[in-house]
């Protein structure tokens, strides 16, 4: 009995091994580096993943030894099944130390029949100056900012590092708080670095900072905390907490410049790269009168959050109707900081046969690299719209019908035709109404949860941006910076009314319908442009009313007057 049981176990193990070997023949092999820019005395983590189980063998890592020293290689395997969907992979995590500087290509690696992707990294020469504590103290910090001067709302990358050559545990870092700025934590990273012959573990935390007012931006010092381990073994399983260790980072100051005077407020988007892309729900070669087609336009901006991207301006046309959907805001973390996206969908319904021209779409933005205005655009499109299929498919009478037709009682036929036509029309109308009601009910039930969720996520992001804008306005008011305060109020209004963003605070006052705010806006302009006394300007009341108006729950928006064209012209 035991012998049979042993044979069964051996058979099962053999089958599993064969399955794993077979699965690895089609599984994908990929490579991903934890860092793509580093100094020559720093390490990086390379993760090589096989989407299958590999029990014994491993990829050929010998090509790495040309440009890297392999300090460690750890294997990790994972298998899980959630809701009937299985996930299986094997990871090899390698710690690499570059042997030279410059642009180095981590070559493609091979495992059986699979080949991984190559990864390009940049290795800089290690700096010998800078922090006076580098390589001299067992524990010290370093603070880096990528720019010493920026424009208002431009992204700043802040990097805080803790260097330690002794074993520490339970790391912590105090919270970053900067009034008048939007903050986004980008992530944490750790690597090794050799300095003056001493090996350091480096803990790195990075942030994206978006200043909302001009002047000096003070970045405060933060505090790293950790426990010094009492165990002398670097990898001791029973290491315990020892003395509490604290190290403060360096404070920094960044100059924040005001928006250039020649750039309109409704075109201010400081970014290093802006792109427009679009998708269509249907083939543009098969458009029909009265049938909608959805145009989805995606605006991506490097160095901006999704809430900072301005809405597109799309001119209406008499050739089609436009029905815009609620925009979707999103953002991703990349090697260059925040990549914000704004996705706008419009349903277009052609109302005439023939050629229709969809005009070009342009987005003006400030290039933070070239220090000038740029334009991202989508070209104009000419499409051909055909008549409705119902019109084209009306059956024609046979040509020989009149030849075989017998004499008719015209009076009786007319009465019978009238009664039949009336009954047919009534029946068709009732069926159409019933079918339309059923379709609307089904579609509404299906779309309501998704629309409600998307609307809630979008409003949450927008409300957070409104809160940050209000904080920036308060900071400008405390500094008595009335020009920056006025620009901040207009930016706040454009966020609040993203569908029809105002270009002046007079238009904003009309949209708000608030007499107190309108009076304060008038007093603000009088002091700025006419040099009148500020006795009539009540900043406390102005800020209070702005806070009360920071809501998207208003039932209707007042008309801006005859200065704007209607969104859906007849």
Q: What's the pLDDT at 427? A: 61
How far is it, in rounded angstroms, from Cα 337 to Cα 182? 13
**Helix (H) or strand (E) run with residue 540 in it:** helix 539-549
In the block, residue with structure tokens 């006419």: 530
Q: Work out the number of other CB atoms within 10 angstroms of the CB of residue 24.
A: 21
The pairing of beta strand 85-98 with beta strand 68-82: antiparallel
For 524, phi then psi, to 5°, come to -65, -45
Query: Is residue 470 within 8 Å of 489, Cβ to Cβ?
Result: no
Q: Which residues contact 190 (CB under 8 A, 6 or more apart)?
A: 201, 202, 203, 204
Q: What's the pLDDT at 532? A: 62
What are the residues facing 75 on neighbouring strands? 92
* Every domain range in the chain assigned CATH 2.60.40.740: 139-257
Q: What's the pLDDT at 429? A: 65
Q: What's the pLDDT at 338? A: 94
Residue 14's Cβ-side half-sphere holds a number of Cα atoms within 13 Å equal to 6
How far is it, in rounded angstroms, from Cα 304 to Cα 268? 11
Give the CA angle between residues 212, 215, 220 to the nearest 5°. 80
How far is it, in rounded angstroms, from Cα 520 to Cα 526? 10
Q: What is the DSSP string of 481-537?
A: -HHHHHHHHHHHHHHHTSSS--SSHHHHHHHHT-HHHHHHHHHHHIIIII---GGG-
In the block, residue with structure tokens 């989407």: 51
Q: What's the pLDDT at 497? A: 83
Query: Is residue 192 within 8 Å of 70, Cβ to Cβ?
Result: no
Residue 420's Cβ-side half-sphere holds a number of Cα atoms within 13 Å equal to 6
Q: Residue 366, exposed/middle/buried by CB under 10 A (0-12, 13-18, 19+)?
A: buried
Q: Which residues contact 437 (CB under 8 A, 6 or more apart)?
A: none
Number of H helices, E strands in the chain: 7, 30
Second-level CATH architecture of 20-124 = Sandwich (2.60)
Q: What's the pLDDT at 175? A: 94
Q: What's the pLDDT at 131? A: 65
Q: Whole-model pTM?
A: 0.59
What are the residues facing 328 on neighbouring strands? 343
**Helix (H) or strand (E) run with residue 449 in it:** helix 410-478
How far is it, in rounded angstroms, from Cα 205 to Cα 215? 26
How far is it, in rounded angstroms, from Cα 489 to Cα 80? 52
The angle, 0 to 180 degrees and rounded to 10, between the axes of the packed helices 482-496 and 515-525 is 140
The CATH number of 139-257 is: 2.60.40.740
Query: Is residue 493 within 8 Å of 502, Cβ to Cβ?
Result: yes
Closest by Cα among 472, 510, 478 to 491? 472
Q: Residue 219, exposed/middle/buried by CB under 10 A (0-12, 13-18, 19+)?
A: buried
Q: What is the DSSP string of 130-151?
A: S-TTTTTSSEEEEEEES-SEEE
Give the CA angle between residues 539, 499, 518 to the nearest 5°. 25
Residue 273's Cβ-side half-sphere holds a number of Cα atoms within 13 Å equal to 7
Q: What's the pLDDT at 228? A: 80
Tens-level pLDDT at each residue, the chain (570 residues)? 454 445 545 444 444 544 444 444 457 999 999 888 888 878 888 999 999 888 788 999 999 999 998 988 989 888 877 777 778 899 999 989 899 999 999 999 999 889 999 999 999 887 655 566 676 789 999 999 999 999 999 999 999 999 999 999 889 999 999 998 999 999 999 999 988 888 999 999 999 999 999 999 999 999 999 988 765 444 344 445 567 888 999 999 999 999 999 999 889 999 999 999 999 988 888 888 888 889 999 999 999 999 999 999 888 888 898 888 889 999 998 778 999 999 999 998 998 898 888 889 999 999 999 999 999 999 998 888 888 755 554 444 444 443 333 443 434 444 444 444 555 556 666 666 777 666 666 655 555 554 444 455 455 556 667 777 888 888 888 878 787 788 888 888 888 887 778 878 888 888 888 888 888 888 887 777 666 665 678 888 888 888 888 876 654 444 444 344 343 343
Q: What's the pLDDT at 211? A: 95
Q: Which two tokens stand for residue 361?
A: 């779409």
The CATH number of 268-389 is: 2.60.40
């Amino acid at each position: 009995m035991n012998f049979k049981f042993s044979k069964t176990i051996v058979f099962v193990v053999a089958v599993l091994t064969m399955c794993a070997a077979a699965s690895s023949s089609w599984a994908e092999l990929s490579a991903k580096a934890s860092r793509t820019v580093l100094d020559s005395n720093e390490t990086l983590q390379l993760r090589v993943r096989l989407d299958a189980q590999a029990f014994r063998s491993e990829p050929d890592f010998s090509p790495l030894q040309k440009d890297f020293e392999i300090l460690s290689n750890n294997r990790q395997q994972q298998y899980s099944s959630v809701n009937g969907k299985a996930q299986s992979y094997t990871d090899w995590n390698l710690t690499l130390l570059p042997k030279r500087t410059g642009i180095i290509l981590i070559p493609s690696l091979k495992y059986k029949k699979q080949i991984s992707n190559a990864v390009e990294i940049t290795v800089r020469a290690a700096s010998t100056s800078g922090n006076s504590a580098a390589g001299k103290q067992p524990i010290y910090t370093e603070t880096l900012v990528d720019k010493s001067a920026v424009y208002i709302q431009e992204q700043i990358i802040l990097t805080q590092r803790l260097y330690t050559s002794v074993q520490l545990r339970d790391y912590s870092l105090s919270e970053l708080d900067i009034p008048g700025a939007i903050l986004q934590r980008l992530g944490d990273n750790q690597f090794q670095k050799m300095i003056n012959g001493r090996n350091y573990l480096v803990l790195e935390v990075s942030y994206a900072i978006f200043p909302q007012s001009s002047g000096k931006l003070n970045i405060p010092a933060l505090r790293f905390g950790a426990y010094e381990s009492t165990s002398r073994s670097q990898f001791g399983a029973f290491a315990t907490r020892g003395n509490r260790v604290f190290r403060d980072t360096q404070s920094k100051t960044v100059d924040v410049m005001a928006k250039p005077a020649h750039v309109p407020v409704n075109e201010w988007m400081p970014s290093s790269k802006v792109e427009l892309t679009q998708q269509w729900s249907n083939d543009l070669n098969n458009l029909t009168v009265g049938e909608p087609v959805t145009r989805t336009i995606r605006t991506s901006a490097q160095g901006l959050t999704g809430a900072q991207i301005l809405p597109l301006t799309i001119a209406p046309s008499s050739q089609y109707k436009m029905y815009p959907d609620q925009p979707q805001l999103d953002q991703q973390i990349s090697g260059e900081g925040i990549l914000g996206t704004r996705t706008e969908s419009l349903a277009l319904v052609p109302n005439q046969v023939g050629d229709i021209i969809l005009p070009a779409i342009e987005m003006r933005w400030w290039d933070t690299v070239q220090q000038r205005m740029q334009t991202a655009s989508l070209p104009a499109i000419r499409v051909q719209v055909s008549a409705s299929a119902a019109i084209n498919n009306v059956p024609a009478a046979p040509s020989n019908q009149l030849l075989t037709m017998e004499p008719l009682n015209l009076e009786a036929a007319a009465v019978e035709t009238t009664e039949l036509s009336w009954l047919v029309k009534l029946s068709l109308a009732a069926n159409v109404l019933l079918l339309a009601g059923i379709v609307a009910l089904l579609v509404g039930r299906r779309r309501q949860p998704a629309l409600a969720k998307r609307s809630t996520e979008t409003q949450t992001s927008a409300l957070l941006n409104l809160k940050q804008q209000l904080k920036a306005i308060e900071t400008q008011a405390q500094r008595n910076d009335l020009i920056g305060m006025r620009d901040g109020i207009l930016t706040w209004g454009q966020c609040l009314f993203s569908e029809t963003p105002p270009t002046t605070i007079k238009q904003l006052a009309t949209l708000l319908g608030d007499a107190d705010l309108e009076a304060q806006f008038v007093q603000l302009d009088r002091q700025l442009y006419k040099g009148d006394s500020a006795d009539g300007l009540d900043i406390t009341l102005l800020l209070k009313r702005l806070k009360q108006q920071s809501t998207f729950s208003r039932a209707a928006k007042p008309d801006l007057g005859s200065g704007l064209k209607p969104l859906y012209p007849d």
